[in-house]
Chains A and B, each alone.
Chain A
Amino acid sequence: MLQLKNLHVSVDGTEILKGIDLEIGPGEVHAIMGPNGSGKSTLASVLAGREEYEITAGEILYDGADLTELDAETRAREGIFLAFQYPVEIPGVSNTYFLRSALNAIRAHRGEDPLDAIDFLELVKDKAKLVRLDEKLLKRPVNEGFSGGEKKRNEIFHMAVLEPRLAILDETDSGLDIDALKIVADGVNALRDTQRSFVVITHYQRLLNYIVPDFVHVLKDGRIVRSGDRELALALEDQGYEWLETAPVAAGA
């Protein structure tokens, strides 16, 4: 579904990602771990199509086609979803109205009719239940005055409504207490199926106790230095990132 080949990315002339190779198949859950500043969030932003990030070498293929040709909104409509590390507030715009605009933009892209207000309301109520989101938050302006946990849960709620094919969770666990973490993980698990893939970016292995990944990759200084399964994450918890050696410089860098 998603292939990264020797991906190099710079921001303001500084190279952050220095040759990433990664392949994600349908229905797979990949965890990306790594110390602060290793390039985890850059990877998430590049996949979502943020403009400030310049791809200097390599390629990103989504369903075999060049993803970098598409702007951010087209990627979203093609099924790529990013749960933000810092969800953005939009004062005066209700969460429901925002999501309905988003869903109908995605539906229009697929050639489907827009959902009317009543059908949409039913849908969001179901999905709110799924991620145990307080219904009060549906009418409130997007993320405005939400607690940290509410913001993260709201991201998962957006994901549940928009039903992406590839969901990228950027440090969704940061700032959550254990109860909130479980709720978020339950929401993600409820959405797992054989076609939907996840990239779970996290600093701590704690989240992976609840969202069990198929693959774990360790990112360090812009490179994937180790890949493995869940055991790798557990080893990292015990020993930290220090024992991992930086992988050799990828060809073509």
Chain B
Amino acid sequence: MSEQTRIIEDFATREYEHGFVTEVEQETFPPGLDEDVVRAISAKKDEPGWMTDWRLKAYRHWLTMTEPRWPNVSYPAIDYQAISYFAAPKKKLESLDEVDPEILATYTKLGIPLDEQKALAGVAVDAVFDSVSVATTFKDKLAELGVIFCSFSEALREHPDLVRKYLGSVVPITDNFFATLNSAVFSDGSFVYVPKGVRCPMELSTYFRINAENTGQFERTLIVADEGAWVSYLEGCTAPMRDSNQLHAAVVELVALEGATIKYSTVQNWYPGDRETGAGGIYNFVTKRGLAEKRAKISWTQVETGSAITWKYPSVILKGDHSVGEFYSVALTAGFQQADTGTKMIHLGRNTSSTIISKGISAGRGQNTYRGQVKVAKKADNARNFSQCDSMLIGDRCGAHTFPYIEIGNPTAQMEHEATTSKIGEDQVFYCNQRGISTEDAVSMIVNGFCKEVFKELPMEFAVEAQKLLGVSLEGSVG
């Protein structure tokens, strides 16, 4: 292996920074899943009867389902009876002041300030620690505009009608194996409602942290933007380093009513497993879907650098006429990571349009698969789609795969699909070296340049974090 290749591989196999464990008193259910566990989760959260029934219905349906085997990933069978389905810090919380200092310290260490005084202006944060939401900032300020931003549990207590109306309306409880499991056992998550015509004045952000061992994390996020509303939502995730695999099966539902816009950004940096052996790491099996009504717009942006396995297809159902769906994605697989990710754009209304920009980076022994579906229904006149899927390979032991599915039921549809695969060229690195730039900086620069179209879609703070995640200092302050 040449010196240059070695440096490139080192770059791609950096240590995981967020792998520490927080010592905090926890209440954890014993491992195992049956109807009593589902009831116990619901009881723990003082849920109304309809919610308990909804969960049980999901659980019973889940028993009839089998785990999907079509993704281009491989992992040993998961023993669903060996997982604990609920973990929470013991102390009950009434306000931010009562949050366990250890947990606050955890978020500070992760660079997520929960103290409103010090919080970044313009970002409200909901922090989810293992299965429960521990703090939500800037709530009062948002309430003045009628914006609801709270934990899912609180939403069930305070706004049960809204939750009942929209929960499961985009991802039904029978949707797929992992989403159905989530519907049965989800513990907490975030809820957002933006009223008619309101432009949410700050970024809303949820930060997910898995801490407990052998615990699954099943959070549920529901975002409703009423007619003409506008909201931008950010999601970040980290976990400690553990030798065993941990399951994360979340569901995110977005509802954009007429003329509304929802921008949903994710920087996912779950523990990817040991770089040398592949041991441990998070199984990230997530269902994310949005429903866009007339002239509504839903935009997904994701930067996926963590997890041992990622299985995720943020999708948009373009139901209303003139609705717009967008998907911007960077997925990096290094070490032994595997990712099978992409999107689905389902065109139902007339004059709908969708854009897909996917950038896959594979390094080490990483395997990176793009899987995307564009479907145009019979009545969806003048649907338009533009898809671009680019793959970059670093080193010679990794792989990139692309599976685009296009189903057109209407002759007026216009589809464009572009795909490229490139290798970080020795020529490119040498060119940088010859100008005085080190190989490590050169690789960062080339990778960042490759991802630029996606990074520019991220809100500023997240764009910075995303670039750092790829091991880079900020580009673009000049020129």
Interface residues, chain A, with chain B CB atoms under 8 Å away: 48-51, 71-73, 75-77, 81-82, 84, 87-103, 105-106, 109, 117, 120-121, 138-139, 141, 158, 162
The interface of chain B, by Cβ under 8 A from chain A, is 2-4, 425, 427-428, 430-439, 441, 445-446, 448-453, 475-479
Given A76-B434, A105-B437, A100 and B449 touching (CB < 8 A)? no
Dominant secondary structure at the A interface? helix
CB-contact partner of B425 in A87, A88, A94, A96, under 8 A: A88
**B433 touching A76, Cβ below 8 Å:** yes
The answer to whether A93 touches B431 (Cβ under 8 A) is: no
- Known contacts A93-B446, A93-B448, A95-B479; is-contact A51 B435 (Cβ 8 Å): no
A73/B439 in contact, CB under 8 A: yes
**B433 and A72 within 8 A (CB):** yes
The answer to whether A92 and B430 touch across the interface, beta carbons within 8 angstroms, is no
Q: Please give me the 10 A-B residue pairs with the lowest Cβ-Cβ distance, nearest first.
A: A92-B449, A96-B479, A93-B449, A102-B435, A92-B452, A72-B433, A88-B431, A76-B436, A105-B436, A94-B479
Offer 23 A-B interface pairs, CB within 8 angstroms, sorted by A.
Answer: A48-B434, A49-B433, A50-B430, A72-B430, A72-B434, A73-B433, A77-B436, A81-B434, A87-B431, A88-B425, A88-B430, A92-B448, A93-B475, A94-B475, A94-B476, A96-B479, A100-B478, A101-B437, A102-B437, A117-B477, A121-B478, A139-B479, A158-B435
When distances are taken between beta carbons in the complex, the residues of chain A under 8 Å from B475 are 93-94, 97
Check A88–B479 contact: CB distance below 8 A: no
Cα(A121)–Cα(B479), bound, Å: 8
Give A100's nearest chain B residue, CB to CB: B478
Chain A residues, CB < 8 A from B433: 49, 71-73, 76
Contact indicator A102/B436 (Cβ below 8 Å): yes
Min C-beta distance of A163 to chain B, whole Å: 12
Smallest CB gap from B438: residue in A: A73
Residues of B within 8 A of A121 (CB): 478-479
Q: Which residues of B contact A91 (CB under 8 A)?
A: 449-450
- Distance in angstroms between the alpha carbons of A74 and B456 in the assembled complex: 33
Give Cα A82 to B427, complex, Å: 13
Residue of A nearest to B435 (CB): A102
Least distance between B2 CB and chain A CB atoms (Å) = 6
- CA of A75 to CA of B476 in the docked complex: distance in angstroms? 27
Closest to A144 in B: B449
A-chain residues with CB within 8 Å of residue B446 when the two chains form the complex? 90, 93
Say yes or no: B428 contacts A90, CB within 8 Å: yes
Q: Flag if B430 contacts A105 (CB, 8 Å).
A: no
CB neighbours of A162 from chain B (8 A): 435-436
Evaluate contact between A97 and B434: CB separation under 8 angstroms. Answer: no
CB-defined contacts of A71 to chain B, threshold 8 Å: 3, 433
Contacts known (A51-B2, A117-B477, A121-B478); A90 close to B449, Cβ less than 8 A:
yes
Q: How far is the CA of A84 from the CA of B431 in the complex (A)?
A: 8
Chain A residues, Cβ within 8 Å of B453? 92
The CA of A138 and the CA of B431, in the complex, are separated in Å by 17
Query: Which of chain A's residues have a CB closer than 8 A to the CB of B450?
Result: 91-92
> How far does the alpha carbon of A59 sit from the alpha carbon of B433 in the complex, in Å?
22
Q: Other than the known A73-B436, A94-B475, A105-B436, what 15 A-B pairs have Cβ atoms closer than 8 Å?
A: A51-B3, A76-B436, A81-B434, A84-B434, A87-B431, A90-B431, A90-B432, A90-B449, A95-B479, A97-B475, A101-B445, A105-B437, A109-B436, A139-B479, A158-B435
Contact, CB under 8 Å: A97 / B2:
no
Bound complex: CA of A158 vs CA of B452, how far in Å?
Answer: 23
Residues on B with beta carbons closer than 8 Å to the beta carbon of A87: 431
Least Cβ–Cβ distance between A123 and chain B, in angstroms: 11
Instruction: Tell me if A88 and B436 are in contact (CB < 8 A).
Output: no
Q: Which residues of B contact A92 (CB under 8 A)?
A: 448-453
Using CB atoms, name the residue of chain A closest to B455. A92
Give the residue among B4, B437, B452 with the most A Cβ atoms within 10 A: B437
- State how many angstroms separate the Cβ of A105 from the closest Cβ of chain B: 4
